[in-house]
Amino acid sequence: MKAIVTTTAKQKEQAFAIRHEVFVKEQNVPIEIELDDYDEQAIHFLCYNDQNEPVGASRIRFVDSYGKLERICVLKSFRGQSYGKQLVQKMEEEIIKNGFKLARLNAQMDVAEFYENLGYKVISEPFSEANILHVTMEKSL
């Protein structure tokens, strides 16, 4: 199991394919919302299983004074096996590497506890994004 920053077009395509599977197919997020203009400027990540198959994806952007963790997802059959945790840790390393000390994300309500277990704190009231309830969370790095 390993998480990496994508460095090739093929890796980026794999990340988009995982996001499509989770967000568009599974959660019914419209494709025009899931893929956006921020994908061009974001740093993308992949997480691989022990057979070197991509099973998770995410991206970060730098906004104001923090790194914003976005589009964190793991294929359904691989959830609960620490792939999400690996992605978040790799993203946090990248945020620190880029000179930032704060991480922020918009977590779907049903996985907010996952992020709380990684040290994130809720800093907003619930809000709807793509017809899914979210809360904003942050962590000092």
The pLDDT tens digits of the residues spanning 71-80 come to 999 999 999 9
Per-residue pLDDT, averaged over 56-78, amounts to 97
Question: Taking the alpha carbons of 14, 16, 17, 23 in that order, is the dihedral positive or negative?
Answer: positive
Q: Do the Cβ atoms of 61 and 105 come closer than 8 Å? A: no
Q: pLDDT tens, 39-56?
A: 999 999 999 999 999 999
Is the confidence at residue 1, as pLDDT, over 90?
no
70 phi/psi in degrees, rounded to 5: -140, 160
Average pLDDT of the residues in 120-125: 98
The answer to whether residues 69 and 138 touch, using CB atoms and an 8 Å cutoff, is no
Question: How many other CB atoms are found less than 10 A from the CB of residue 121?
Answer: 12
Exposure string for 23-58, b = 16+ CB within 10 A, e = fewer: beeeeebeeeebbeeebeebbbbbbbeeeeebbbbb
| DSSP single-letter state for residue 82 | S
In angstroms, the CA 137 to CA 92 distance is: 14
The neighbour count for residue 100, using CB atoms within 10 Å, is 20
Q: What mean pLDDT is predicted for residues 86-106?
A: 97
pTM greater than 0.85 (yes/no): yes
Distance CA 128, CA 22 (A): 18
What 3-state DSSP class applies to 130?
coil
